Amino acid sequence: MQHNELRIVILSRNRTLYSTKRLVEAIEARGHRAVVLDHLRCDIVIEQDKPAIFYNGEIIKNVHAVIPRIGASVTFYGAAVVRQFEMMGIPTAVESQALVRSRDKLRSLQIMARSDVGMPKTVFTNYSKEVAKIIDSVGGAPLIVKLLEGTQGYGVVLAPTKKAAESIIEAFHSMKARVIVQEFIQEAKGADIRAFVVGNKVVGAMKRQGKEGEFRSNLHQGGTGKLIKLSKKEREVALTAAKAMNLSIAGVDMLQSERGPLVLEVNSSPGLEGIEKTTGKDIATEVIKYVEDLIEKVNQKKRSRRKYKNDA
């Protein structure tokens, strides 16, 4: 479908990042105009029936859609800016509510469990003294301890023995750090799968392998990616997890286990570099095509409402 020139805003703190640059290229290649705005420099004006955003003292207008690229450390303000665009009637590729939900590890796991998505056994406690019971309930050591606020593999520790697990959990608790304790999936052998979901399809997938002696497979931690063809079940689980989180654009991280694919987390601002370089696919253009369709749906709704009013 051919679209007239659209003005698409990318919310990004750094226009030189690979993902931001690729989205700009894809927007321009399809004959549209890309505008990169740093969400932390957006001023939100809240007024009855007149929501507005100012950027460098100028009001933002004539925007057709927004693609949020919000880092975990600025979720609160970033989501508020996305919400303001939504209040202005502008479609966003990732909804503010879904963004906030995806950043809450505990809530994400609860939502996915309710949607019948397979996951490693997980325990969250409020600084419980029953550390031995927590360890037993995820199947004993080795096990994983994760900081609730950690990203890109930081704040994730493998406890090889029960004694080590007790020490790690107690140390985090003494620092008043909130953690989840998770079953260690031995057969995954330090590898996981990243499925990149756009709309209602998986547009690319890679297997990430941790470096020698490293159980974390994140590319930020020195892991390597290789092209993988997902099984039908893995594809279904990725789509179910993204849908449960109400994310139209998502990176779904899964482990291959003896009991099928297990979801670790669903990322609402997945990077494009690893997946594009590993798969050789133009994922950025898939995102822009999805945004074009989103704008068309919103326009159709507006036309229907106008027609309904006129007919009435």
CATH code of the region 7-94: 3.40.50.20
Q: Stretch 262-285: mean pLDDT, rounded? A: 96
Q: Looking at the predicted structure, is the pLDDT value of residue 220 above 70?
A: no
Alpha carbons 291 and 69: distance in angstroms, whole number? 14
pTM: 0.89
273 band by pLDDT with thresholds 50, 70 and 90: very high
1 band by pLDDT with thresholds 50, 70 and 90: very low
Q: Which amino acid, 137?
A: S
pLDDT tens figures, 75-127: 999 999 999 999 999 999 999 999 999 998 889 999 999 999 999 999 987 77
pLDDT tens figures, 282-301: 999 999 999 999 999 988 88
Torsion, Cα 85 87 91 95, to 10 degrees, reads: 80
Higher pLDDT, 212 or 144: 144
What pLDDT was estimated at residue 261? 96
Is residue 294 exposed (0-12), middle (13-18) or buried (19+ Cβ within 10 Å)? middle
What CA–CA distances, in Å, run from 175 to 5, 13, 116, 163, 234? 53, 31, 34, 19, 38
Are 8 and 262 in contact by the 8 Å Cβ rule? The answer is no
pLDDT tens figures, 127-138: 778 889 999 999
Q: Looking at the predicted structure, is the pLDDT value of residue 178 above 70?
A: yes
**Domain 102-117+187-268, CATH homologous superfamily name and number:** ATP-grasp fold, B domain (3.30.470.20)
What are residue 147's phi and psi, to 5 degrees? -70, 135
271 band by pLDDT with thresholds 50, 70 and 90: very high
Q: Stretch 148-167: mean pLDDT, rounded? A: 82
Residue 128, SS3 per DSSP: coil
Q: Looking at the predicted structure, is the pLDDT value of residue 40 above 60?
A: yes
Where along the chain do its domains lie? Answer: 7-94, 102-117+187-268, 122-184
What is 122-184's CATH topology?
Dna Ligase; domain 1 (3.30.1490)
